[in-house]
Structure 1
Amino acid sequence: MPILISTPQELNNVRNNLLSDYELTNDIDMSGFGNFTPIGNSTSKFKGIFNGKGFKIKNLTINISSQNVGLFGYLENATISNVAIENANVTSNMQNYVGILAGYTLGTTTISNCYTTGGTVNGQYGVGGLVGYFGGTIENCFSNAIVTGKGRVGGLVGNVINPTSYIKKSYSTGLVTVTPDPNLFNGGLIGSNDYLANVTDSYWDINTSGQTISAGGTGLTTSEMKTQSSYVNWDFVNVWGMNNDYPYLQVFGVPTAPPKIETITVNSYSNNFFGNLGKTIKSTINTNSLLHAIQSDSKRHIATIRNIDTYLLSINSNAIQSHRSVRSSTETVATFMNPISASVERKTKTFKNLMSFVSPISGGVDVLYPLDIRMYKAIVNVIENNSSAYTMDNMSTTNYIVNPSFSEVIE
């Protein structure tokens, strides 16, 4: 039975038995663990089986002044599968054989269905995004880590060491930087390798890596790397998947795309008010309304002051007066609901009340008089003349009116 690993400390304890069989049971976040010491070294190599089971090791930090640096420092005849390492920061303080998954491997070691992403790796010679110094077989793996070193530096593998080393169906996309000499065995996929024929159906991104050369593999543009037909002999039924991006390993599920941030601008507009005013003598008319377009036509031949209040829904009123009145007097007619209909007769020096008509105002409020809630008002036009005259106001539908409209005419 494999030994199950679910915590950072249990992962650290793997070094206590380098021949056993291990399995991850969940994702492990190493951000609170501190500086991690590689598992295995040149005298005590890891020779067991480690199966990540499609889980991820996140935020691993390794900063050590020695050779053979990675999650596993030294692998011999080991089997590593289904392991993902995300956002790792691995450095050997300019020592040799550095990789995020493994620093040094040899013998019949096999690494399959593994990846490293979102991390950085720094070393001197033999530096790779997945493995630094490699002997064995790598199949169905990828890396997009940023890789920096002095020589034999590659996006996936730094240095391939013997004719029995094979790299199959793998790729890399990370930036590869070689300093101070940019021509000292560097490559987009592999930095140094005398056995080019042993690298099959593998690729690197020439745009994102900054490298047009590699000791094995085929260089593709970013667009080609995100096209499934570019990957010859790859199994996109059982092993790999495409999601409008680089290939992903199905054992880890479909990767989640980063959220997109968009800004949406909304403009709002108020309808215009339209009015038409005709007058023959001095007068002042004020029109205020919060309704949609109001059209009005007002004509006057004598001066008076009128106040008209309306409050929704139908009340009909009719006012007729036949007594003598003083021209300066003021008559006020108040109605409480639309529409309002009124007629006025005028004889000789008799002062008559106005005739007004207000088009219906649509509303959803039933009100009884007296009304002590928010008042609703509408504009009316005033005509006073023995000749026939009419005023028509057309109001658009409204659901809610707060401010009263007011019309005033002064002789």
Structure 2
Amino acid sequence: MPILISTPQELNNVRNNLLGYYELVNDIDMSGFGNFTPIGNTTSKFKGIFNGKGFKIKNLTINVSNTYVGLFGYTENATIQNVGIENANVTSNNYNYVGILVGNITNSTISNSYTTGQVDGQYGIGGLVGWHSSGLIKNCFSHANVTGAGRVGGLVGNFVSADSYVNNCYSTGYVDSNLYVGGLIGSNNFPENITDSYWDINTSGQTISAGGTGLTTSEMKTQSSYVNWDFLNVWGINNDYPYLQVFGVPTLPPKIETITVNSYSNNFFGNVGKSIKSTKQTDSYIHAIQTYTDRHIATIKNIDTYILPIHSNVSQSHRTVRSSTETVTSFMNPISATVERQTKTFKQLLSFVEPLQGDINVLYPLDNRMYRAVVNVIENDSRVYTMDNMSTTNYIVNPSFSEVIE
């Protein structure tokens, strides 16, 4: 019967029986446990079976000053399977043979397991296993960052013998060392013993390895890159690195993307507050014309008025008044009209009275010197309204009524 493990203390008690068969029954959070001592060493090796059953050991902290460091320090003829270690921080204070899961394996098998976090040591430092004396590592991966002085690899620090094997594994963590360093394997005299295994050349910072095949991040997240992998029963992939099915489908962290957006605005129509309105010694015969315009520069000279059949719009109005009096002859028109340009300068006005009432542009008291007439003249109240690019000019009909006595 397996010994069931559900708490940090029960995990720590594994050292009391190094030949036992253990199973996790739930995830275990080690954040409140403190510094964990590795299980097994050179004199008391772990030789049992440890089955994680698809559960995880989280927030493991190991900080010791000795060799063979990991959750298991030293294993021999042991089996470790189906266990994940997440967010581990494992440090040996510049000692050797350090891995997050196992410091050293001899004639042992590790399968369907993974690690994440940080591992630091001197020589023989790996994200999963530090020193691979003999045995098999199969269907495993590590996302851990690895730092050491020499023989440092993303998955395994050092291969020791021809009886050491790695099959169908990968690593992605950053690897930092100055001597015998590799993205997957730090050092190894038997690279042919590493089959169908890969490391990420972008995230690891390493383009070399003592075994395995380097791929780009994009290739690492593509199923076809993994030769002879069982994606039906063992592995899964979901637009990310492969995962082990025994742990279920992982929840992907939110991706941060940068999107460049160029903003364009349509043309604005605005009012221009500039007007030129000079008035010099000008006699006014009508009320001031009220205007609303964007820009108007007006010069008024002698202009004939033509009758249009419809009201027309103009784009600019010109309305500068100069000090002069012009002669304007006003003719009664039979119908109202709108003109495009208007004048407001008067000179020797002469009014001819027709039998019909009509509209005129400019009114001036009728000169009746040629007639004996009584002339009633109504002041012309004019109003001009102008809009940008759509100016409409209106004026008031001058209803003049004249009685002529012969």
- TM-score bracket, shorter-length normalisation: 0.5 to 0.7
1:133 aligns with 2:128: no
User: Given that residues 149 and 177 in structure 1 are in contact (C-alpha distance below 8 angstroms), is that contact kept between their aligned partners in structure 2?
Assistant: yes
Q: Secondary structure at the match of 1:55?
A: strand
Question: Quick one: distance in 1 between partners of 2:267 and 2:36?
Answer: 65
Matched residue type, 2:218: S
Counterparts in 2 of 1:31-42, with a 5 A limit? 31-42=31-42
Matched residue type, 2:126: G
1:197 aligns with 2:195: no
CA 1:259–1:208: 2 relative to 1, 3 Å: closer
CA 1:285–1:20: 2 relative to 1, 3 Å: farther
1:56 aligns with 2:52: no
Counterparts in 2 of 1:357-368, with a 5 A limit? none
Question: Quick one: distance in 2 between partners of 1:22 and 1:349?
Answer: 118
1:24 aligns with 2:24: yes
User: Given that residues 206 and 222 in structure 1 are in contact (C-alpha distance below 8 angstroms), is that contact kept between their aligned partners in structure 2?
Assistant: yes
Q: Which residue of 2 aligns with 1:120?
A: 118
- Structure with a larger share of its residues in strand: 2
The Cα offsets for residues 16-74 of structure 1, whole Å up to 9 and x where unpaired, read as 22222222222222222221111112222222221222222222111100011011111
Of residues 67-76 and 206-215 in structure 1, the stretch that sits farther from structure 2 once superposed is 206-215
1:258 aligns with 2:257: no
User: Given that residues 133 and 160 in structure 1 are in contact (C-alpha distance below 8 angstroms), is that contact kept between their aligned partners in structure 2?
Assistant: yes
Counterparts in 2 of 1:8-407, with a 5 A limit? 8-107=8-107, 109-117=108-116, 119-134=117-132, 135-179=134-178, 182=179, 185-252=180-247, 253-260=249-256, 282=288
Aligned length: 316
Matched residue type, 1:152: R
CA 1:115–1:285: 2 relative to 1, 3 Å: same
Shift of 1:5: 2.1
User: Given that residues 5 and 24 in structure 1 are in contact (C-alpha distance below 8 angstroms), is that contact kept between their aligned partners in structure 2?
Assistant: yes
Q: Which runs of 5+ in 1 are unaligned?
A: 275-281, 288-294, 296-347, 351-381, 388-411
Question: Quick one: distance in 2 between partners of 1:269 and 1:51?
Answer: 66
Larger Rg belongs to: 2
The Cα offsets for residues 272-330 of structure 1, whole Å up to 9 and x where unpaired, read as 799xxxxxxx255799xxxxxxx9xxxxxxxxxxxxxxxxxxxxxxxxxxxxxxxxxxx
Q: Secondary structure at the match of 2:202?
A: coil
- RMSD after superposition: 4.1
Q: Secondary structure at the match of 2:54?
A: coil
CA 1:211–1:384: 2 relative to 1, 3 Å: same
Q: Secondary structure at the match of 1:208?
A: helix
Question: Quick one: distance in 2 between partners of 1:255 and 1:242?
Answer: 12
CA 1:50–1:268: 2 relative to 1, 3 Å: farther
Shift of 1:91: 0.8
CA 1:262–1:159: 2 relative to 1, 3 Å: closer
CA 1:255–1:273: 2 relative to 1, 3 Å: same
CA 1:221–1:271: 2 relative to 1, 3 Å: closer
Q: Secondary structure at the match of 1:251?
A: helix
Shift of 1:161: 2.1
Q: Secondary structure at the match of 1:215?
A: coil
Shift of 1:205: 2.1
Q: Secondary structure at the match of 1:38?
A: coil
Q: Secondary structure at the match of 1:162?
A: coil
Q: Which residue of 2 aligns with 1:278?
A: none
User: Given that residues 248 and 255 in structure 1 are in contact (C-alpha distance below 8 angstroms), is that contact kept between their aligned partners in structure 2?
Assistant: no
Q: Secondary structure at the match of 1:82?
A: strand
TM-score by length of 2: 0.64
Q: Secondary structure at the match of 1:214?
A: coil
User: Given that residues 123 and 148 in structure 1 are in contact (C-alpha distance below 8 angstroms), is that contact kept between their aligned partners in structure 2?
Assistant: yes
The Cα offsets for residues 65-106 of structure 1, whole Å up to 9 and x where unpaired, read as 001101111111111111111221111001010000110111
Question: Quick one: distance in 1 between partners of 2:57 and 2:265?
Answer: 50
User: Given that residues 153 and 187 in structure 1 are in contact (C-alpha distance below 8 angstroms), is that contact kept between their aligned partners in structure 2?
Assistant: yes
Question: Quick one: distance in 1 between partners of 2:267 and 2:188?
Answer: 72
Greater relative contact order (Cα < 8 A, sep 6+)? 1
Q: Which runs of 5+ in 2 are unaligned?
A: 272-287, 294-312, 314-375, 379-393, 400-406
Shift of 1:173: 1.7
Q: Which residue of 1 aligns with 2:355?
A: none
Question: Quick one: distance in 2 between partners of 1:265 and 1:9?
Answer: 58
Question: Quick one: distance in 2 between partners of 1:190 and 1:64?
Answer: 24
Shift of 1:163: 2.1
Q: Secondary structure at the match of 1:10?
A: helix
Question: Quick one: distance in 1 between partners of 2:246 and 2:159?
Answer: 27
Question: Quick one: distance in 1 between partners of 2:32 and 2:202?
Answer: 35
